[in-house]
Chains A and B, each alone.
Chain A
Amino acid sequence: MIWPRRSSNEPLWKEEFSVRTADERYVTRRQLTKFLVLTSFGMFVGNLWILFRSIFYKVSSFPQQAVARLGEIPVGGVKLFTYPTKDDHCILVRTGENEHVSYSQKCTHLSCAVYYSRESNRLECPCHKGFFSVADGSVLQGPPTRPLPKIVLETRDGKLVAVDVKTS
């Protein structure tokens, strides 16, 4: 393998700060190439980091938490709650007499809070007009590319209980 080498006996500073314009042009191009290759290495390290996180990804176990009583919210109404931690805001929508859906309130684009639009029956992000289906959380329009994480609900003793979070 051929490694970088210096082909003259001049000190490095003389090579890097040449008085000749033509030589200077070479130096700047070589430095730009070096910078681009360094950036390429950074991209590679980024991909390695994602690979590392994927390999050592742990399936989280989520707590069971009662989020609302049955009939607490009217049809078409919403309730906000936090799950699984106090920092994870979620939205619960009653879509029918016996139908409830719940999603993370954080838009998958830039994390703005989504709200339920009863007129258009969809979840809307006011920041960049990203719209999500209320049926399954999929993207209807706008910049988000991923669906909203869905909160899995179960009915127990007249209560809606959040038991899991599905990311896709």
Chain B
Amino acid sequence: MNPHNADLPPKTRGLTAIAGAMSLIAVLLIVQIWLLSAALEAFLAGKHQTALPAAVFSGVMFLICFGLYLFVDRLDSDVRHSGEDR
């Protein structure tokens, strides 16, 4: 982390962290959309062995997204109610 960031107000730092987490979630979501379309394509082509790994990886990515959401939610609550910037 940049040492100069420590001088920033909590709201600005929180906003940066939330934006970073949101970007990660967006990237994971794009991968999940691709995974779903690829799995569906394979299923329709009669290749059923791809369904299990696709579902497992999709589940892992959802869990990461959910973890990032918890992080965002906690950070958001902390920053908004810290009172340092009011």
Contact = CB atoms under 8 A, between A and B. Distances in A.
B84 to A, nearest CB: 12
Contacts, number: 129
A22 B72 CA distance: 16
Contacts of A15: 80
Q: Which range holds the interface residue count of chain B?
A: 35 or more
Q: In this complex, which of A8, A36, A55, A57 has the most chain B Cβ atoms within 10 angstroms of its Cβ?
A: A36
B86 to A, nearest CB: 9
Contact of A167 (B32, B45, B58): B45
Nearest to B59: A44
A3 B22 CA distance: 18
A43 B62 contact: yes
A167 B46 contact: yes
A165 to B, nearest CB: 10
Interface in A105-150: 108, 145-146
A33 B81 contact: no
Instruction: Provide the main secondary structure of the chain B interface.
Output: helix
A33 B79 contact: no
B36 A7 contact: no
A43 B55 contact: no
A110 to B, nearest CB: 13
A4 B55 contact: no
A62 interface: no
A30 interface: yes
Contact of B55 (A5, A36, A48): A48
A22 B11 contact: yes
Q: Which are the 10 A-B pairs with shortest beta-carbon distances?
A: A54-B51, A167-B46, A43-B32, A54-B48, A47-B58, A44-B62, A40-B65, A51-B55, A47-B55, A51-B51
Interface of A: 2-8, 15, 22-23, 25-26, 29-30, 32-34, 36-37, 39-41, 43-44, 46-48, 50-51, 53-55, 57, 108, 145-146, 167-168
